[in-house]
């Protein structure tokens, strides 16, 4: 069986600053992988290279055995990669439903209809409501994004990411800025995602993240320094030295 995501010898530098250094990571289908490391370790830069938003200087990225290293962002999304961002990227003056419908249109054969008004009877609208229902926001579908709480906006982002029906879902600090109750709610949403979607998550909330993780990769200054099963990595002296602080 092909790996869900295979990163080989990936390197990226900005001038003299190396942000990804000869990085290789292999992730199995259905796996729940946690990427951790101190600020500046290169975690988000890695995600940006996987999605095509940044071009590496060298190395390759494969999705289920297919090299996607040269594909542009939109074709990687169509191939099955979806993501969320550290900073919320929703359209605040549009409704929750409109945000999700735009995401659905982006991967449909109806892309040229983005400026048309879609009715509640439209099949895309019905799918939008199902996606919002999946994150507990069905009743808020016609509210403006700017009028809902920050934690709810995070849940809308997960609905957007899942609207792509991804094979690999990249979650970049999905719990950032959330209250304790909101973190637990988002954690449960993530745990409910079916195993047909492989999940790779960057997260600093270790209490929640470790409950999610099966395998952990630790980055430090763009290098992979520790990798393996959850307990093994947490108890590794290098992990404690560079990240856990003891």
Number of Cβ within 10 Å of residue 91's Cβ equals 12
- Closest to 237 in 3D by CA, of 225, 221, 229: 225
User: 123: burial class by Cβ within 10 Å (0-12, 13-18, 19+)?
Assistant: exposed
What pLDDT sits at residue 225? 92
Rg of the Cα atoms in the chain: 18
The answer to whether 203 touches 209, Cβ cutoff 8 Å, is yes
* 82, pLDDT greater than 80: yes
Superfamily of domain 1-80+167-246: P-loop containing nucleotide triphosphate hydrolases (3.40.50.300)
Taking the mean position of all CA atoms in its chain, how far away is CA 125?
A: 24
What pLDDT sits at residue 244? 64
The answer to whether 215 touches 30, Cβ cutoff 8 Å, is no
The answer to whether 96 touches 132, Cβ cutoff 8 Å, is yes
Q: Which of 125-139, 200-214, 221-235 is predicted with the least confidence, judged by mean pLDDT?
A: 200-214
The three-class DSSP label of residue 25 is strand
What pLDDT sits at residue 15? 84
89-112 pLDDT, tens digit each: 899 999 999 999 888 887 665 555
The whole model's pTM is what?
A: 0.91
Looking at every residue in the chain, the average pLDDT score rounds to 89
DSSP β-bridge partners for residue 44: none
Q: Where are the domains of the chain?
A: 1-80+167-246, 90-165
173-215 pLDDT, tens digit each: 998 888 888 888 888 899 899 999 999 999 887 777 888 889 9
134-176 pLDDT, tens digit each: 999 999 999 999 999 999 999 999 999 999 899 999 999 998 8
Tokens matching residue 129: 């409501």
20-66 pLDDT, tens digit each: 999 999 999 999 999 998 888 899 999 999 999 999 999 999 999 99
């Amino acid at each position: 069986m092909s790996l869900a995501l295979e990163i080989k010898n990936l390197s990226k530098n900005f001038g003299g600053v190396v942000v990804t250094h000869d990085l290789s990571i292999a992730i199995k289908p259905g796996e729940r992988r946690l990427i951790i490391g101190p600020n500046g370790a290169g975690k988000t830069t890695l995600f940006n290279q996987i999605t095509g938003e940044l071009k590496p200087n060298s190395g390759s990225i494969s999705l289920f055995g297919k090299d996607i290293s040269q594909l542009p962002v939109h074709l990687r999304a169509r191939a099955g990669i979806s993501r969320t961002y550290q900073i919320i990227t929703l359209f605040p003056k549009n409704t929750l439903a409109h945000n999700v419908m735009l995401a659905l249109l982006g991967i449909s054969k109806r892309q040229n209809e983005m400026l048309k008004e879609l009715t509640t009877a439209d099949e895309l609208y019905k799918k939008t409501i199902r996606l919002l229902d999946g994150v507990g926001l069905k009743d808020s579908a016609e509210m403006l994004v700017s009028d809902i709480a920050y934690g709810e906006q995070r849940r809308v982002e997960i609905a957007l990411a899942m609207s792509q029906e991804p094979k690999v879902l990249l979650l970049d600090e999905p719990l950032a800025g959330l209250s304790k109750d909101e973190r637990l709610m988002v954690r449960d949403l993530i745990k409910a995602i079916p195993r047909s979607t492989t999940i790779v998550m960057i997260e600093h909330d270790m209490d929640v993240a470790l409950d999610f993780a099966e395998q952990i990769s630790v980055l430090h200054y763009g290098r992979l320094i520790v990798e393996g099963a959850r307990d093994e990595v947490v108890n590794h002296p290098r992990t404690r030295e560079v990240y856990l602080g003891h």
